[in-house]
Structure 1
Amino acid sequence: MTGRQFLLGVDIGTSSSKGVLVDAADGALLASAVREHTTSTPYPGWFEHDAEEVWWADLRAIAAELGPQADGRLAGVCVSGIGPCVLPTDGSGAPLRPAVLYGVDTRAQEQIAAQTERFGGERVLRRCGSVLTSQSAGPKLEWLREREPQTYVATRRWYMASSWLVHRLTASGGRPGAYVLDHHSASQSTPLYDLRASAWIGDWCEEVAPGLQWPELVHPADIVGRVSEDAAAATGLPAGTPVAAGTVDAWAESAAVGATGTGDLMLMYGTTMFLVNTVAEPVPDRRLWSTAGVHPGTYCLAGGMATSGAVTGWLRDLTGAGYAELTAEAAELPPGADGLLMLPYFAGERTPLFDPDARGVVAGLSLRHGRAHLYRAALEGTAFGVRHNLEAMAEAGGDLRRLVAVGGGARELWTRIVSDVTRRPQQLPRHTIGAAYGDAFLAALATGLAAPGEIARWNPVEETVEPEPERARGYEELYAHYRALYPATRETVHALAARQRGDAG
């Protein structure tokens, strides 16, 4: 045991938080912990987290469970989280309201339209890498200023999940902790960050959110502080432990599996499905997000579906059956779920549609269909959504040479269906626990205990899921119907979405 050092990675997700304790020498996973939590939806289209009761409580619980196992030899800690989020705080970092979550929260539609007109849609795309959508942080800051002015008047800082937890870990004696944001997270803060210049756009920041302090820009693997005495007392982590900046969860996941080289694509199976393709230069496209990468000087083309694992979780809860049971039943069915087709837009859709009023559609239902059919149709629907995104990426100039699957949803049936639908192989690494493991690796980079290329030794590829030609051919016609179903039902689901909001007669 002499000389061993350990790294703690923690990821704050939409519906749960995960932590891992890793041996710094070889990336061996020594222990893991999970904490479930709820997401508040006070109004249709709103998704929020209480930062103290969700983010900080989960970090404290995970640190208390895993930290003692390091036996005082914790070399570093790194936290990632859902993003981009908007958490307004006072000057000391105390939250003033629950955090507004990422693209699943669609409240700021008026502000998206207003900022697009004010700054110019094409100009925003060229300068920031993405058009303004529900994924953008800027409109949500302006929503706060316009709709909750009393809160905004008191606001001095704003954080995302990872950056606020960095603040909490480094705050001491009533003094605020580090106020930083990593370049990747900032690049999702459209229209506030210039992608090529790697800097805040000062005049646009002041126009969107006047009077706020702006966080210092850093990289995910930069050490930005140390665990304070106060944080040590709250978490059990050793005071003085280096704290890395961290980043948005999907990009931490790409680091976890080494999908950070040009031509790599990380496919994250989670509550939402996320795709991150590393490219040589920014390739802005209005259907996708062009962002900064994990490592300095890298860029990404990214896509994200609003729901994927969330739909399978909904079916699990609705039917009362567990995932293993549903998966086994669905695996017995043929491709196409005996004539069932699902649009998985249960919370609107992000890329490449950017339609917050899209809704789920199940077509072809008959009395012979049961829960297994619905479950398989959900898996296939998300696979069709992945293919739609991959096609948009290729058309935009993406570089899709290698697909790596990661995340808690990377189960055998689902990955096989995705490979059959997309006709692309997927590599499965040894550890698919995801962002928390990537956080541990970022902590290793930050503390000099690993170099970027060493992730291949930490987390080698152990399996490749190949598409099966006959099944792949069988999905071609179904994919064509999938693509046709959205425009055929768009007017109807938009009217239904309006009723759900209560703004239709």
Structure 2
Amino acid sequence: MTKYAIGLDYGTLSVRGVLIDTKKGEVVASDTFAYPHGVITDYLPETTQKLGTDWCLQHTDDYLTGLKTVVKSLVRQAVDVDIVVENIESIGVDFTCCTVLPVDKLGQPILKKESYKDHPHAWVKLWKHHAAQKQANRINEVARERQEAWFPYYGEAISSEWLFPKLLQILEEDPELYHEMDRFIEAGDWLVWQLTGEERRSKSCAGYKAMYQEHLGGYPSTDYFKAVHPEFETVVADKLATEVYDLGTAAGFITPEFAQELGLSSKVVVAVNNIDAHVCVASTGVAQSNTMLNIIGTSSCDILLSRETDLIRGTAGLVKDGAVRGFHAYETGQNAVGDIFSWFVDTQVPEDYFVKARSKNMSIYQYLEELATPLAPGESGLVALDWWNGSRTPIMNADLTGLIVGLTLQTKPEEIYRALIEATAFGKRMIIENFEENGVAVAQLVFCGGLPHKNKLLNQIYADVLKKPIAISNELETGAKGAAIFSILATDPSLTLHQVAHEMKLDEYLETYKHHEKSATTYDKLYEIYQDLVKLFGENQNIMQKLKVAQKAVWSEE
């Protein structure tokens, strides 16, 4: 008898759901729901409350409406092909991380309370909310002064994207709300709480985004938090949960109420929440050391498995069992990749390019790729820094900003487009070299996500810049399918990820890119210029930070 699993992949703009069979991994139903509120960056909905610079919020209604809409659709599609609903055994969820929100003791979002709907801090802080850089700086400063044992596991730099900087920002800027909330929780953990009625927090989320290291006793000490802020001393006991749970384990069964509304059996197992990038190890078959998984979409997240525990500066986290049981998993990445290309298309590409793209029945991205592909490396005379949304790794500074050097009156849009792709490849090379200079080998790369399947130029540029083989995953539904696979593991503790992925043939790849020697030689020279710019603007100078200070001053005056 064939069994089935549901996977829900909560991204930045939408939730994607799939229904797969538990043996072959075949997707038998799928659907997507775009968030009506999208990413909130200017004003709070239905208010005149203006947000400051670097704010990125969301609404929990989008998550629940998306859940109900997508799962009901999957169930309808299943019934249409004669699948017995009772054979749907599990649900897995992955979510952007660190996306967090304040809730009351019952798990109800504070933003739903009438008296707090015009408080920006009551809303969901999306992963790319970067307005807590000041708080991140404080957290880093105290950890460095105290030589905290957990600090090297995060490359000695905590990001403004993470849980405690965002929570500290609430304490300092809206103390009334801070004391009103009972819990501050990852959105994925919150969704699992809604589905099961049980608060079961992901060890992976806690490990990568909340400085949790199990072998060091869990979260940092109360003494450390008190040194950060006097009212932060008991923050873990007051606002979090001390118990965390492994990936691929059961958070509980779906509540009878949700089961009835969604048309599912009340025996459906709900898995512990996973991070949207990390979950892709399942659907890409990456379950071995020294292969770097690159999930490339709006941003880029990298997962590198290792049997060792080398502590490396410039990584975003090293967590035991953080992605695959039995391995230590490094996380690195870039704050913006696809977002940079979208910015360029939305704000810089002239209208006549869109007209020509339509005349050739192409998207604007396909048209730019067609124009940029014949260009030789270095032909445009451009080099860019890929910091349009700050630097995640290895510099870990959200106040850094983008830069293009070499522009002239003759520069064409396709040349800038290619230079932006090259910049993201150079950023990836800097991350890889940081690993290898510290004794951790990166033998090959596996790409998944939205961009690698759409942009062959990007894949070849990365191969030429990195000079390493790049395999493209067969899977288009890597996030949702990965979430479904982890839910399968939650139904049977005897299963391993390697077994499931191999049986589903997920370790077989669509195509492989290798570098072209001539292009690689030119890119070596351009990369040296990129490194010079990194030193000038990222390491030794504070020009970009001064611009941020000036920008924030203008916002505060308005």
* Structure 2 length-normalised TM: 0.83
Alignment of structure 1 residues 338-377 onto 2, 5 Å: 338-377=380-419
Matched, 1:146 2:176: no
State the Cα deviation string for residues 357-409 of structure 1 (Å, max 9, x = none): 21111111123322212221111110111001111122233331231111111
Alignment of structure 1 residues 269-418 onto 2, 5 Å: 269-292=296-319, 293-318=322-347, 319=349, 320=354, 322-336=364-378, 338-410=380-452, 411-418=455-462
> 2:22 maps to what in 1?
24
Alpha-carbon offset, residue 213 of structure 1: 4.4
1:492 to 543, 548, 555: 543
Alpha-carbon offset, residue 10 of structure 1: 1.1
Specify whether residues 433 and 397 from structure 1 end up closer, same or farther in structure 2 by C-alpha distance, changes over 3 A only. farther
CA–CA separation in structure 1 for the residues paired with 2:511 and 2:403: 34
Query: 1:408, 1:434 within 8 Å by CA — same for their partners in 2?
Result: no
1:199 is paired with a residue of what secondary structure?
coil
Specify whether residues 17 and 124 from structure 1 end up closer, same or farther in structure 2 by C-alpha distance, changes over 3 A only. farther
Specify whether residues 148 and 91 from structure 1 end up closer, same or farther in structure 2 by C-alpha distance, changes over 3 A only. same
1:438 is paired with a residue of what secondary structure?
helix
1:86 to 97, 100, 110: 100
Alignment of structure 1 residues 86-485 onto 2, 5 Å: 86-96=100-110, 97-102=122-127, 104-120=128-144, 123-124=147-148, 126=150, 129-130=153-154, 131=156, 132-170=158-196, 177-191=197-211, 193-197=212-216, 199-201=218-220, 203=222, 207=233, 209=235, 211-214=238-241, 216-292=243-319, 293-318=322-347, 319=349, 320=354, 322-336=364-378, 338-410=380-452, 411-448=455-492, 451-453=496-498, 454-458=500-504, 459=506, 460-485=508-533
CA–CA separation in structure 1 for the residues paired with 2:132 and 2:92: 31
2:468 is paired with a residue of what secondary structure?
coil
Alpha-carbon offset, residue 282 of structure 1: 2.8
Query: 2:135, 2:160 within 8 Å by CA — same for their partners in 1?
Result: no
Alpha-carbon offset, residue 43 of structure 1: 2.0
Query: 1:9, 1:21 within 8 Å by CA — same for their partners in 2?
Result: yes
Specify whether residues 483 and 236 from structure 1 end up closer, same or farther in structure 2 by C-alpha distance, changes over 3 A only. farther
- Give the residue type in structure 2 aligned to 1:196: H
CA–CA separation in structure 1 for the residues paired with 2:33 and 2:473: 24
State the Cα deviation string for residues 278-305 of structure 1 (Å, max 9, x = none): 1113332331123322233421122111
- Give the residue type in structure 1 aligned to 2:194: R
Query: 1:81, 1:161 within 8 Å by CA — same for their partners in 2?
Result: yes
CA–CA separation in structure 2 for the residues paired with 1:463 and 1:122: 48
> 2:358 maps to what in 1?
none
Q: Tell me which moved more, 89-98 or 41-50.
A: 41-50
- Give the residue type in structure 1 aligned to 2:139: Q
2:56 to 47, 57, 68: 47
> 2:31 maps to what in 1?
33
1:56 to 64, 72, 84: 64
CA–CA separation in structure 1 for the residues paired with 2:185 and 2:408: 48
> 1:77 maps to what in 2?
91
- Give the residue type in structure 2 aligned to 1:226: F
Query: 2:89, 2:267 within 8 Å by CA — same for their partners in 1?
Result: no
1:304 is paired with a residue of what secondary structure?
strand
Q: Tell me which moved more, 384-393 or 427-436.
A: 427-436
The number of residues matched between the two structures is: 494
Query: 1:22, 1:28 within 8 Å by CA — same for their partners in 2?
Result: yes
- Give the residue type in structure 2 aligned to 1:384: F
CA–CA separation in structure 1 for the residues paired with 2:411 and 2:102: 47
CA–CA separation in structure 1 for the residues paired with 2:367 and 2:189: 39
2:19 is paired with a residue of what secondary structure?
strand
Specify whether residues 361 and 223 from structure 1 end up closer, same or farther in structure 2 by C-alpha distance, changes over 3 A only. same
Query: 1:254, 1:260 within 8 Å by CA — same for their partners in 2?
Result: yes
CA–CA separation in structure 1 for the residues paired with 2:126 and 2:259: 28
Alpha-carbon offset, residue 140 of structure 1: 1.7
- Give the residue type in structure 1 aligned to 2:434: A
Query: 1:142, 1:208 within 8 Å by CA — same for their partners in 2?
Result: no
Query: 1:88, 1:159 within 8 Å by CA — same for their partners in 2?
Result: yes
Query: 2:16, 2:33 within 8 Å by CA — same for their partners in 1?
Result: yes
Query: 1:76, 1:242 within 8 Å by CA — same for their partners in 2?
Result: yes
> 1:174 maps to what in 2?
none
CA–CA separation in structure 2 for the residues paired with 1:457 and 1:46: 44
1:274 is paired with a residue of what secondary structure?
strand
Specify whether residues 323 and 60 from structure 1 end up closer, same or farther in structure 2 by C-alpha distance, changes over 3 A only. farther
Structure 2's unaligned 5+ residue stretches are 42-50, 80-84, 111-121, 226-231, 355-362
State the Cα deviation string for residues 45-88 of structure 1 (Å, max 9, x = none): 222221222x2222222212223233313121100011123211
1:77 is paired with a residue of what secondary structure?
strand
CA–CA separation in structure 2 for the residues paired with 1:285 and 1:135: 20
1:150 is paired with a residue of what secondary structure?
helix
* Structure 1 length-normalised TM: 0.91
> 1:173 maps to what in 2?
none
Percent identity of the aligned residues?
Answer: 25
Specify whether residues 127 and 353 from structure 1 end up closer, same or farther in structure 2 by C-alpha distance, changes over 3 A only. closer
1:19 is paired with a residue of what secondary structure?
strand
Alpha-carbon offset, residue 148 of structure 1: 1.4
